[in-house]
Amino acid sequence: MGTNPVTWLGSPVFPKAARAALADTQLRRNLRKATHTIRDKRSKAVAELPDWEELRQAGEAIKDDVLSNLDTYLERIEAAVTARGGVVHWARDAREANEIVLRLAREAGTDEVVKVKSMATAEIGLNEALEAGGIRAVETDLAELIVQLGHDRPSHILVPAIHRNRAEIREIFRREMAEKPASDEPRDLAEAARRHLRRKFLSARVAVSGANFGVADTGSIVVVESEGNGRMCLTLPEVLITVMGIEKLVPSWQDLEVFLQLLPRSSTAERMNPYTSVWTGVTPGDGPQQFHLVLLDNGRTDALADQVGRQALRCIRCSACLNVCPVYERTGGQAYGSVYPGPIGAILSPQLVNDMHDKQAASLPYASSLCGACYEVCPVRINIPEVLVHLRAEAVEAKGRTPESVGMAALSWIFADARRYENAQKVGSLARHLAPSGRISSLPWPGSKWTSARDVPAPPAESFRMWWRRNRG
């Protein structure tokens, strides 16, 4: 998690990157254009289905069934994968998962692996762990490649390079690629990436993927994508290693059908994904001849124990909540200091960290206006505002007695009595003399914790109660 906290949206801390993002006008233009384009297209795609709400309810019910019976479904997929020639590994945390993948890559005798876009591998820091072990990981998703070559960090679940425009991408490619793009036109940028990656695909012996879904009944793993690069990784190398969060299961192919309707419309505003790849174990003579499935916990069972917070594990990583969030639109994903940005990151990351004494984790539930737009678009009906409030309460409880809690107790005492409330208003109105311009930019401590990030409107000379008594009393 990140460091360097500052006051943000009433929370005790939030990454310094948030203020930097607010000051970066180019970043904000990039984000606004991209998020508005995606969400407008999504609205049209969703409107085509008269049973969209029924599909959302079905997705919610299937996910809740999986979470309630996760032990059974995990044993089922392990048996199915093993019966079809695959090998299942269990990883309690990021360290174990990274050690497993590193060991398997070394056993294959390679110093380079190609990767399918994967949030789970980003979550555990796999690329960094492989590099420390002498193995280079090559991102093959175009947006992830842009981020990797730019020595940058992702800022969106679906479109990691959403904060970059075409001119910036061209400069990254010119600096990092042997064959330079002819221009910043999308066609030329894609062609440059294609030439760069094709050599990697043809020489790779090991590929690493994530998983959108795992079908418990058959042991099938499903990856959906828009470019086809992932399919090159899933078919050409000799060894395929999949890192999958334990919550990604669906019971059967019939259940998978629901999500293959929900996910593309919610994420890319498409009726179906251009590339939906499914593999089941090992097929002799065709495709990878070794398949390893790493089942990742990394805080998920802790989240499962929280009756309110566990609904975050329904998430199918569509990113619809990011595209409607007013906070995300203004700060971008990097400001969250987490692999999972936006509203879903604000409720998922703190639970995976499972430490409300961690200042960064504790701050994330405050990165929201609680407008509820994220709940309205979520394809599996995660009540994100409910979980945000729940996690805020946990963060307050974990802090114990603080100046903030003392201040809130004092306000509670004032608000509990009408006379005390009116007297406080009269005293507070004197603060207007500190701000002839109508805005207070600097207050003494503890008010400075607020004004370090924003101004405070000066109180009016007359409160509403005083006005009412004078005019209507």
Unique residue bearing structure tokens 């418990």:
216
User: When comparing pLDDT for 91 and 357, which is higher?
Assistant: 91
Where along the chain do its domains lie? Answer: 14-162+204-300, 412-472
What pLDDT, on the 0 to 100 scale, is given for residue 7?
Answer: 31
Give the pairing type, strands 220-225 and 275-280.
antiparallel
Q: Which of 59-73, 381-395, 422-436 has the lowest mean pLDDT?
A: 422-436
- Comparing C-alpha atoms, which of 374, 343, 170 is closest to residue 161? 170
Q: What is the pLDDT of residues 307-336, one digit of tens each?
A: 999 999 999 999 999 999 999 988 888 888
CATH architecture of the domain with range 14-162+204-300: 3-Layer(aba) Sandwich (3.40)
* pLDDT of 213 above 50: yes
Give the range with max mean pLDDT: 179-188, 250-259, 262-271: 250-259
- Comparing C-alpha atoms, which of 304, 300, 312 is closest to residue 365? 312
- Quick one: what percent of the chain has pLDDT higher than 70? 95
- Quick one: what percent of the chain has pLDDT higher than 90? 66
* pLDDT of 152 above 80: yes
CA distance 394 to 328: 23
Q: Which token pair is 263? A: 């996910």
What pLDDT, on the 0 to 100 scale, is given for residue 9?
Answer: 36
Burial code (b: 16+ CB inside 10 Å, e: under 16) for 39-52 equals beebeebbeeeeeb
